[in-house]
Structure 1
């Protein structure tokens, strides 16, 4: 396995209607989170601890809610919230 990120349940449900520039920032930050999680959890697939739970990440244009699941070597994005205009 190798680390990755994805929208849950899917991109259409989570990101529908969000501005493209904001989504680009979300995806850039998601890539950073994947690299950090991979470095922190070197043996992710054999992780025995609890998941960290939901967290918020703030990016230009808003924020998003995500979770790191070491056993699945996965960062999931559950909600994106662009700043109101």
Structure 2
């Protein structure tokens, strides 16, 4: 398995109504988070500790909240907020 990101929970619903330009920015930042998580957690499937704390990322037009699950080698985008600025 290799590291990937995906929308989860309420973010899946919000994606349906958010503008494509905003979603492209969210997805670009999520790709960056995947690369960083993969570099830090080289042996993700063998990870024994608790998962690292997620966070919020501000992008033009809004923000999103993510969570990293190391043993699944996933970065989950759990919430997106489009503010339209």
**Normalising to structure 1: TM-score of the pair?**
0.90
Note the alpha carbon deviations across 1:4-29, whole angstroms, 9 max, x for none.
00001386414121111100000000
Is the 1:66–1:78 Cα contact (8 Å) retained in structure 2? Answer: yes
Matches within 5 A, 1:14-29: 14-29=14-29
Out of 9-18 and 70-79, give the one that drifted further: 9-18
Whole-Å Cα distance in 2 between the matches of residues 48 and 68 of structure 1? 14
RMSD of equivalent CA atoms = 1.6
Whole-Å Cα distance in 2 between the matches of residues 78 and 11 of structure 1? 5
Structure 1 residue ranges, 4+ long, deviating more than 6 angstroms after superposition: none
- Secondary structure, aligned partner of 2:39: helix
User: Between Structure 1 and Structure 2, how many residues are aligned?
Assistant: 85
Whole-Å Cα distance in 1 between the matches of residues 4 and 12 of structure 2? 18
**Normalising to structure 2: TM-score of the pair?**
0.90
* Structure 2 unaligned residues grouped into runs of 5+: none
* Structure 1 unaligned residues grouped into runs of 5+: none
